[in-house]
Amino acid sequence: MSESRVVADHRIMGGVPCIRGTRIPVATIVGLVAQGRSVDEIVADYSQLSAADVRAALEFAAAAVSERQVPLRTTA
């Protein structure tokens, strides 16, 4: 996975995961893909992104939604 292209820094966009070196959130890229935009269209509209950045954002999002947190129950 290309997680090194995705960073979450509290000083940039309040810690929202973004593509390294930009202020473009992963959620923005995922939203564009959900709207039917192709990788080439996204890269054409966001000149600071590469196709690899778009793929990294999608990989990051897929990994994020596949994680599960199971709350621990306490017994009394």
- pLDDT tens readout for residues 30-53: 999 999 999 999 999 999 999 999
pLDDT over 70 at 1, yes or no:
no
Instruction: Render pLDDT for 5-21 as a digit per residue (tens, 0 to 9).
Output: 999 999 999 999 999 99
Buried b (16+ CB within 10 A) or exposed e, 28-59: bbbebbeeebebeebbeebeebeeebbebbbb
For the domain spanning 3-64, the CATH number is 1.10.10.10
| Predicted local distance difference test score (pLDDT) of residue 44 | 98
The domain locations on the chain are 3-64
pTM of the model: 0.82
Rounded to the nearest integer, the mean pLDDT of the chain is 91
